[in-house]
Amino acid sequence: MTAVRPPSSAPAEVPGPTPRRVRPPRWLDLRLVLGVLLVLASVLLGARIVSAADATVPVWAVTGDLAAGTELSSEDLVAVDVRLDDTAAAYLSSGTRPEGRTLARAVRSGELLPRTALEEADALVQLALPVQSGYVPPGLERGQLVDVYAVADPAAGATVVADGSVTLVVRKAPVQAIAGRSEGVLSTPTTAVQVVVAVSDGDADEVLAAIAGRPLVVVVHESVDGDGVAGTAGSRSGDASAPSGPAAGGTTSARGPAG
């Protein structure tokens, strides 16, 4: 007789969840692409902001005060980088060569050189005047405005006298160059100094006629500002006005004979 086994009490196995296969990362994932684009946009925007803040251009500036009528030289100019935005076209780029051009108006030391300062000015000629060193101010520099007087007696200096022994021969002329000036024991009141000034074309003969071989005295204006280049002989009007006061166009620095 066969024995009957009782049914087993152990539960039957329940099938587990099917494992999902992990997909390998794709380079064309949308989130990765968006992240890269955001980084690139941030870098480009930052570079644009930095470049806009440092948008400087090289232009010419002058190294000293220069009167109208001064012929520019390389020593008068220095290149500087400045931010000018929309006004950059109004100034001379350092890529240009303005040497040899004549200033149509006065400029100050450190001033950026505008294009309008080199507009066509009156025709000028350079006139070399021999002046005794005792009658040239020691601080005379290129680009300053000067009056030049012819005197009958050097001891009279720049004092205007009633008999007309002092004549204004050049008025408010820019100094182009100074040659022959010496310092120290080698300098004497009779040493000749060549002062080159710019005068209007056509006035040179009148200036020379007004000098008539007489000794000259140079008087320096304190400012390079003026109402235009004159450089004319004061003898045309028949009077020798003093350098100060409205007739001479501003305050001047009168120097007497040195030593």
- How many structural domains are present in the chain? 2
pLDDT, position 225: 80
Does residue 240 belong to any structural domain of this protein?
A: yes
DSSP lists the bridge partners of residue 4 as none
Exposed / middle / buried, residue 33 (Cβ in 10 Å: 0-12, 13-18, 19+): exposed
User: Are 106 and 131 part of one and the same domain?
Assistant: no
End-to-end C-alpha distance for the chain, whole angstroms:
160
User: Are 229 and 180 part of one and the same domain?
Assistant: yes
CB atoms within 10 A of CB 117: 23
Last residue of a domain, one of 86, 104, 121: 121
Does residue 3 belong to any structural domain of this protein?
A: no
Does residue 14 belong to any structural domain of this protein?
A: no
Positions in the chain whose pLDDT score sits under 70: 1-28, 51-54, 119-122, 153-164, 181-190, 226-259
d(CA 107, CA 35): 56
Give 84-98 pLDDT, tens digit per residue: 777 888 888 888 898
- Cα–Cα–Cα angle for 194, 196, 113, nearest 5°? 140
Q: Which structural domain, as residue segments, surrounds residue 46?
A: 31-121
User: Are 212 and 128 part of one and the same domain?
Assistant: yes
pLDDT, position 61: 93
Structure tokens at 5: 């086994």
Q: What is the CA radius of gyration of the chain?
A: 41
